[in-house]
Structure 1
Amino acid sequence: MKIYQYSILFSVLSVCLVPTEGRADPLSAHVMEQIIIKGRQTDLLGQASSASEGVVGNAEISDRPLLRTGEVLEFIPGMVVTQHSGSGKANQYFLRGFNLDHGTDFSTFIDGMPVNMRSHGHGQGYTDLSFIMPELISQIDYQKGAYHADSGDFSAAGSARFSLQNRTTNEISIGLGQDNYQRLLAKGSAKQGQGDLLLAGEMQQYDGPWTDINENVEKLNLLARYSQPLASGQLSVTLMAYDNSWQAADQIPGRVVSSGELDRLGSLDTTVGGESRRYSLSTNWYSDAWQLSAYIIESDMDLWSNFTYFLEDPINGDQFEQVDKRWIYGGQLSHHWHQRLGQFEVEHNLGVQLRYDDISEVGLYNTRARQRLNTVRSDEVQQGSVGLFSQSDIQLSADWTAHLGLRYDYVDVSVDSALTTANSGGASDAIWSLKAGLSYQISANWHAYINAGQGFHSNDARGVTTAADPLTLEPVDPVDLLVRSEGAELGLRFFDYTAFNASVALWYLQMDSELLYVGDAGNNEPSRASRRFGVELAAYYWLGNNWSLDAELAVTRSRFTEPEADEGNYIDGSLPFVASMGLIYKADSAWQTSLRLRHFGKRTLDSFNEQRSASTTVLNAGYQYNWQQWTFGLELLNLLDSNDNDIDYFYASRLPGEPAEGVEDRHSHPIEPRTVRAKVTYRF
C-alpha cells in the first residue's frame, strides 16, 4: 500500500477513535424506533408479507468467513455468489434459477442509494459491492419476488437493502493470510455535538493463488458518517470513497488444462484486469411518518478482458476494454401512516423515487496489453426515471391481512453515439406494476402467505436506440426499454419460539425477455421470453443454548417459452439446485467456531442441455477467541481444498494454431484453493 493511504486512514480515524460512555437515545418518543438486529430475525410472524423475506443482523455477518465482500448476499437463502474474473470486479450472482450476471434482475441498495448500474459498460444492472465494509453493516433486509411496491427496476428475482451503523465499536483489526493477503480495518465513533460521528477505513492487498499472475489488488475504502436527532426525526449524512485496481485471472478453456499446457490456476492473457472508483455523498432523514433520502454518486470503471483470445483478431488478439464513467443523482420521499376504514385497520406507505444517470462515456475498445487499437463503440447516455409507489396492508380480521401495492415507472433515455449517428437518439417508456397478497395467521406458530406481483427490468439504453451494428453497420432491430415480469408465490412459515423455525415457498416467475449472459462477449444481451418455478426451504435449529444449525435448499426449473430456430428451450447458465448448511458454536465462554457448507448443482451451459457444468461444493470454517479487549480469529476458506469451479461457460475460442472458426469448449474459473487467514482485533 502507498504511504499516503496509511496517512489518510489514520489521520482521519484519530479524530473520533476516543472511548465514550454509553448514553440513552436522545430521540423523543414520537420518533420511529430503530431496532438493531444482532443476528438473523427469524420470528417474522405477523410482520412479513411473504414467506421469502427476512432480516440479517450484523452479529450473524461477523460470524461467517467471507472470501469476498460480495458474499454477504449469500445470507439470502438460495443466493450463490461466485467470481469469473479478478477480485476487483463485481461478483457473479445466482438466485431462483437466474444467472443474474453481475446483478441483473436483483436490485441492491445501501442506505437508499442504488447499487445497480443502468446501461453499464460491462452489463445491465452491474452490482459491485466492494465499496462496502461488512463490519459496518447494521442489517440486511431482503425480499425475493416482486411483491413490494417500493422495489422497481431489476427486482424481478428480489432485492436487498443494506443499512449502515450510526454508532460502532472502536477497534483496529489486522488480517494476514496466504498469497500476500493483507487487510487493515480501523473504525470507531464518538459523540460530536448533539450527534455521533463514525469514521472507518479499510485497506487491502491480495496477490491471489494464480500461477501466471499476481492479482495485485490494492483496495481502499473510507467512510465518514454523522447522525443526530433533527425535528422529531433522525438525520444522517454519509460520505463514502472506494478505489481499487487489480489484475485478473479470467476463465480459461478446458482443453489447455486437460492437455497439460496450462495449470488450472493459470492465465492465457496476463494483462487483463481493471480499475474501479466510487465516491458518494448521501443523506437520510426519517421519523415515524416520513422518510427522505438523497444521494450523489460518481463512478468510474476501466475493465480489460479477453475471453476468446485470437478468434476475432489472429494478429493482435481479442482483448477489449470496457469503460463506464458516470454521475448519478437521486432520492426518495415516502410517507407512512395508519388509518381506520370502517372495521379495518390500514397501514399505508406512499412514495416517489427519482434517479438520473449522467454517463459521460460508456465505451468499448479493442486493445492489446491494455493499449487501445480502435474504438468499437463510444456513447454518452442520459437516463432519467421517476417511480411512484403505494403499498397498503389491510388488517381484515385478527388472522387475515391483505397486502396491496401499485407502482408506476417512467424512464427516459438519450444516447449520443460518437461513431454512428444512426445509433444516436432518444426513447421513453412507462409501465404500471400491480402487487397483491394475503397472509393468514393459522396459529401462534404458523403463518401462511399467497402473493402475486408484476415487475420489470430496463434494457441498456444503447440497445433501445441502436439502428446499425457498430462493426458491420448492418441494420439491427432495437430492443424494448422496459420488460415485464410476472410472478406468484405460496408460502408457509413456522416458529416455535424455543428451538426451531422454518419457511417454505413455492414460487413462479415469467419474463417477457430474458437478459442472458454471453460468456464470450463478457456482457448480457436481451433474449427470449422465459418461465421459472421452484421451491425453497429455509430451516434454523438451536441445539441448546450454544449450538445452532441452519439449512437452506432451493430447487428451480427454468425454460425459454418462446421458440427460436436452431435453439433449444433450456436457459444458458440457469442453476437448478442450491444447498447450504451452517453449524455455529457460540457459548458464553471466550471462544466460538463455525462451519459453512455451500453446494450448487450442475448448470446447463447451452440451450439444448447437451453441455452441463459439474456441481460445486465448498466448505469454510472459522474460529474466534476473545480475551479482554482482544479478539483472535482464524479462517479456513475452502477447508477441504476442493478443485471445483466457481463458474463454467461453453463457447468458441481460438488459440494460436487452431482453426479460424475456433474450438467450442468449456471455459472455467476455479474456486481458489484452500487458504488460511488470521485476524487480530483490538477494541478500545
Structure 2
Amino acid sequence: MHISGFLKMASPAAMALAIGLGGSPAVAAEAAPPQESAEAIVVWGRAQAQIGIATAGSQGVVGYADLEKRPILRVGELVETVPGVIATQHSGTGKANQYFLRGFNLDHGTDFAGFVDGMPVNMRTHGHGQGYLDYNFLIPELVERVDYAKGPYSVDAGDFSAAGTVRFSTYRQLARPFVEITAGSNDYYRGLAALSMDDDAGGTTLVGIEGLASRGPWVLDENHRKANLLAKYSRDDWSVTAMAYHARWNSTDQIPLRAVEDGSIPRLGYIDPDLGGRTTRLSLSGDAEIGDGTSVNAYAIYYQMRLTSNFTYFAADPVNGDEFQQRDKRGIFGGAIRHHWDGATAGIPTIFRLGADTRYDLIGRVGLYPSVDGRRRDPIRQDKVDEYSVSGYGEAELALGGGVRAILGLRGDFYGYDVDADISANSGLGTDAQLSPKVALAWAAAKGLEFYANYGESFHSNDARGAAISIDSATGDPVDSVDLLVRARGAEIGARVEGARFNASLVGFWLKLGSELVFVGDAGTTEPNDASKRLGMEFNAFWRPVDAVSFDLSAAYTRARFSGTPSAVDRIPGSVGFVLGAGAAIDLGDGLSAALRVRHFGKAPLIEDGTVKSQPTTLVNLGGYKALGPWRIGVDIYNLFNARDADITYFYESRLANEAEPVEDIHFHPVEPRQFRVSLRRSF
C-alpha cells in the first residue's frame, strides 16, 4: 500500500532513523522557532493580543512557544492546546482520537471541525464514523500555529463546527535544520529530520520526514509503525505542500471491567487479539494571494483505511464472534476563495468579507464486513458514494464608535449525494441546503478589556448512506432515513482582559442541536437520538510573571441534557461535565528548561438515567530540556504519578466466550502507565 513495503522491511530502529541535510538558516519573522541564543525572541501565541481582532471570547491562537516544550504522548493531543478540549483513545494509537468539548462526546470528530493548511481533515460518510478526524499525519514539530474558535459563530466554518473549529498551520521556513531521535519505554523509537533551504528565485523549500515504531504498554504488542513526509515550496504570496502518511497498528480496545475484576485478563490485557488497522493518506495542496485582499487554496487528497474492531465479543454471534471490519477508500478534491476590503455602510467604517468553498468526495468503497481472526467475510453492506458541497458566505464588520464593533454574517451550504449501494433499495440521490446566520457584538470598554455577545447557527452533515437508506442491511427490516444536514444553534457572552504579562477570558454559552437520526458505521444502519441542549462556562488564562516563567490555566463546566425527555432519563451518555487543563514552563538558565502539564476531566453519565457514571481522570506530564550549543537533550515523563484511571469509559452489553448470555457492564480503556522518552536533537 504505497509505502507499506518500506514499513515491512524496516526494523524499528532503522525505520525511526532519519538523516538531515544542511540548509540556509534564514527564518521568517515572529513565528519562527527561537534560536538557541541570548537574542532569541520567544513568541507565545497565548500572549498575542486578541482585543480588537477576535469576535468572541472563546476565540484564540496558539503559537510556537506554546508547543515547543510540551510533553505530548500522542499527536492528537495537539488539540488540547485549545482550552477545554480533551483528546483520549479507546483503541490503537493509529486510530483517530476520541474528543471531548463543551459537554460533547465528539466521538472521532462529529461537531468538531479540523483543518491543516486549509485542507479539511473531517471525513464525510466515513467507514468508521461520521466526521472522522485523524491528525496522525501531522508532525508536531512542524506545526507553526493553531487558530481556534468555539461555538457556531464563525462564518467561514460550516460542517462539523457546532462545538468548535481548530486550524493548524505548518511552517514555511525553519530557523535551523535539525535531526532528532527519540527512544523510550515499551520499545518506542522515533526519528525526525527537517530542513528549509532558500533558492535563487526567492523561494523556500521545507522538508520534514518522520519514522516511528512502538510496541506500546499493552499485553498485546501494538506493533505501531508510522512514516510521515511533509514537503513545502513557498514564496511570498504562494505555497505548494505535499504530505504522505502511512501507519499500521494492532489494537487493544476497551475491555469489560468484569474480566479484569475476576482475573481473566490483566488491566492492560485484551479480549480479541486480531484487532487493528492501517491508514494511508496522500495530499497535495496550495494557497496563494492573487490580489489585494484575495486569497485562494486548493487541495487533492487520497485516503484509504482498514479497521478491525470487536466491542461485544460474542453477543450477536456465539460461534464466530462479533468481530467486524470497516474499509474506506476515497479521493477528496476541493478549494476555497476569500476576499476582504475596507469600505463603509451608511457612513460607518466597515470591513467586508466574502468567501466560497467547494468539496467533492469520490468514495470508491465504504464498507462494513463481519470478520473472523481479522479476515473479512461477505459484506454487511458495501457502497460507492459521491458527495459534494458548495458553500458561500458574506460578513460585514462595522466600527460603530465608542469601541463597539458589530459583525453580521450569513452562510449558505448546499450538499448533494449519490449512493450506489449493494442493496438497490439503499441507493439514491438527494440534496439538502441550509442558511446559517451569525451575529456578534464586541465592545472594547477600556484599554485591555473587551466584552462579547454572539449568536450563530451551524450544522453537521450526516452520513449520506443514512440519508438514502430504507432497509437495514443486516436484518432486512425497514428503517427511517436521516436528514443530511442537522442544525445547531448557539449563543455566548464573554469578556477578555489583556495586559503586558497576563490575559484571561471568561465566557458563558448555550448550544442546542436539533432532533436527529444518526447513521452508525459500526452497525451499518441508523440509530435515533433526541435533541440536546448544553449550558456552560469556560475560563482561560495565561500569565508570564517574569520572562523565564509562564503559567496557563483553562477550566470548563457544561450541563448537557436531552431535550423533550423526562428529567429522570435526560442525561447524555459520555457528556463530561468538568474539564481542567493547566501548565507551567520555566527557563532555569544555562540552557535548562522544564514544563509541567496537568489534564483532568470529570465524571460523565454512561446511561440516560445517570445511575452509572465514569470516574474522573487526572494525568500529569513532565518534561525537562537542556541545550548544549547545537545539541538539545529532552526527557519527557508521561503519567508522572502512574495514575490507574480510564482514558474512556462506556456501558453496554457484551458476552465473553465462557458466558451463556450477554452481560451489561462497564467497558474501559485504561490510561497508559508511566513511561519515559529521551530525545536528542542536533541543529545545524
TM-score, with normalisation over the residues of structure 2?
0.94
Q: Distance in 1 between matches of 2:536 and 2:516?
A: 17
Q: Find the counterpart in structure 2 of residue 625 from structure 1.
A: 626
Question: Which ranges in structure 2 are unaligned for 5 or more consecutive residues?
Answer: 1-6, 31-40
Q: Find the counterpart in structure 2 of residue 28 from structure 1.
A: none
CA contact (8 A) 1:650 1:666 kept: yes
**Equivalent residue letter for 2:550:** S
Which secondary structure does the structure 2 equivalent of 1:135 belong to?
helix
Q: Distance in 2 between matches of 1:677 and 1:664?
A: 38
Listed as ranges, the matches of 1:298-313 within 5 Å are 298-313=302-317
Q: Find the counterpart in structure 2 of residue 346 from structure 1.
A: 350
Which secondary structure does the structure 2 equivalent of 1:210 belong to?
coil
**Equivalent residue letter for 2:458:** G
Q: Find the counterpart in structure 1 of residue 207 from structure 2.
A: 199
Aligned residues: 664
Q: Deviation of residue 562 (structure 1)?
A: 3.0
**Equivalent residue letter for 2:209:** G
| 2:46 is the alignment partner of 1:53 | no
Q: Deviation of residue 471 (structure 1)?
A: 1.2
Q: Find the counterpart in structure 2 of residue 144 from structure 1.
A: 150
Q: Deviation of residue 519 (structure 1)?
A: 12
Q: Find the counterpart in structure 2 of residue 534 from structure 1.
A: 536
Which secondary structure does the structure 2 equivalent of 1:542 belong to?
strand
Describe the superposition over 1:90-122 as per-residue Cα deviations: whole angstroms up to 9, x where unpaired: 000000000000110010001110000000010
Q: Find the counterpart in structure 1 of residue 81 from structure 2.
A: 75
Q: Deviation of residue 372 (structure 1)?
A: 1.7
Q: Find the counterpart in structure 1 of residue 471 from structure 2.
A: 468
Q: Deviation of residue 40 (structure 1)?
A: 2.2
Q: Could you tell me which of 195, 207, 216 is aligned with 1:188? A: 195
Describe the superposition over 1:1-54 as per-residue Cα deviations: whole angstroms up to 9, x where unpaired: 55679999999954xx324456999xxxxxxxxx99554244211111000010
Q: Find the counterpart in structure 2 of residue 270 from structure 1.
A: 273
Q: Distance in 1 between matches of 2:225 and 2:253?
A: 18
Which secondary structure does the structure 1 equivalent of 2:67 belong to?
helix
CA contact (8 A) 1:408 1:431 kept: yes
Q: Root-mean-square deviation (CA), in Å? A: 2.3
CA contact (8 A) 2:365 2:385 kept: yes
Q: Deviation of residue 58 (structure 1)?
A: 1.7
**Equivalent residue letter for 1:343:** G
Q: Find the counterpart in structure 1 of residue 334 from structure 2.
A: 330
| 2:166 is the alignment partner of 1:160 | yes
**Equivalent residue letter for 1:378:** Q
Q: Deviation of residue 371 (structure 1)?
A: 1.0
Q: Deviation of residue 478 (structure 1)?
A: 0.4
CA contact (8 A) 1:123 1:523 kept: no
CA contact (8 A) 1:9 1:201 kept: no
CA contact (8 A) 2:70 2:595 kept: yes
Identity level (%): 44
**Equivalent residue letter for 2:513:** M
Q: Find the counterpart in structure 2 of residue 457 from structure 1.
A: 460
Question: Which ranges in structure 1 are unaligned for 5 or more consecutive residues?
Answer: 26-34
Distance 1:518 1:82, change over 3 A: farther
| 2:510 is the alignment partner of 1:502 | no
Which secondary structure does the structure 1 equivalent of 2:122 belong to?
coil
Q: Distance in 1 between matches of 2:86 and 2:218?
A: 23
Q: Distance in 2 between matches of 1:381 and 1:519?
A: 14
Q: Find the counterpart in structure 1 of residue 69 from structure 2.
A: 63
Listed as ranges, the matches of 1:645-656 within 5 Å are 645-656=646-657
Which secondary structure does the structure 2 equivalent of 1:148 belong to?
coil
Q: Find the counterpart in structure 2 of residue 30 from structure 1.
A: none
Q: Deviation of residue 520 (structure 1)?
A: 8.2
Which secondary structure does the structure 1 equivalent of 2:593 belong to?
strand
Q: Distance in 1 between matches of 2:347 and 2:660?
A: 76
Describe the superposition over 1:475-503 as per-residue Cα deviations: whole angstroms up to 9, x where unpaired: 11101011111000000111122x32210
CA contact (8 A) 1:79 1:94 kept: yes
Q: Deviation of residue 389 (structure 1)?
A: 0.9
Q: Could you tell me which of 549, 552, 557 is aligned with 1:550? A: 552
Q: Find the counterpart in structure 1 of residue 139 from structure 2.
A: 133
Describe the superposition over 1:158-215 as per-residue Cα deviations: whole angstroms up to 9, x where unpaired: 101111110013000000000010000000000123200001100001111112x110
Q: Find the counterpart in structure 2 of residue 279 from structure 1.
A: 282
Distance 1:12 1:377, change over 3 A: farther
Distance 1:443 1:517, change over 3 A: farther
CA contact (8 A) 2:464 2:484 kept: yes
Q: Could you tell me which of 12, 18, 26 is aligned with 2:23? A: 18
Q: Distance in 1 between matches of 2:104 and 2:656?
A: 31
**Equivalent residue letter for 2:113:** S
Structure 1 stretch 611-620 or stretch 587-596: which is displaced more? 587-596
Which secondary structure does the structure 2 equivalent of 1:310 belong to?
coil
Q: Find the counterpart in structure 2 of residue 44 from structure 1.
A: 50
Q: Distance in 2 between matches of 1:249 and 1:22?
A: 43
Q: Distance in 2 between matches of 1:249 and 1:336?
A: 49
Structure 1 stretch 80-89 or stretch 588-597: which is displaced more? 588-597
Q: Distance in 1 between matches of 2:516 and 2:280?
A: 30
Q: Deviation of residue 393 (structure 1)?
A: 1.1
Listed as ranges, the matches of 1:214-229 within 5 Å are 214-229=221-236
TM-score, with normalisation over the residues of structure 1?
0.94
**Equivalent residue letter for 1:241:** A
CA contact (8 A) 2:380 2:524 kept: no
Q: Find the counterpart in structure 2 of residue 598 from structure 1.
A: 599
Q: Distance in 2 between matches of 1:674 and 1:4?
A: 28
Listed as ranges, the matches of 1:377-392 within 5 Å are 377-392=381-396
Which secondary structure does the structure 2 equivalent of 1:147 belong to?
coil
Listed as ranges, the matches of 1:74-93 within 5 Å are 74-93=80-99
Q: Deviation of residue 63 (structure 1)?
A: 1.6
Listed as ranges, the matches of 1:281-300 within 5 Å are 281-286=284-289, 288-300=292-304
Q: Distance in 2 between matches of 1:22 and 1:84?
A: 40
**Equivalent residue letter for 1:115:** V
Distance 1:124 1:347, change over 3 A: same
**Equivalent residue letter for 1:432:** L
Q: Distance in 2 between matches of 1:36 and 1:333?
A: 33
Q: Distance in 2 between matches of 1:285 and 1:318?
A: 49
Q: Could you tell me which of 240, 252, 257 is aligned with 1:254? A: 257
**Equivalent residue letter for 2:218:** W
Q: Find the counterpart in structure 2 of residue 670 from structure 1.
A: 670
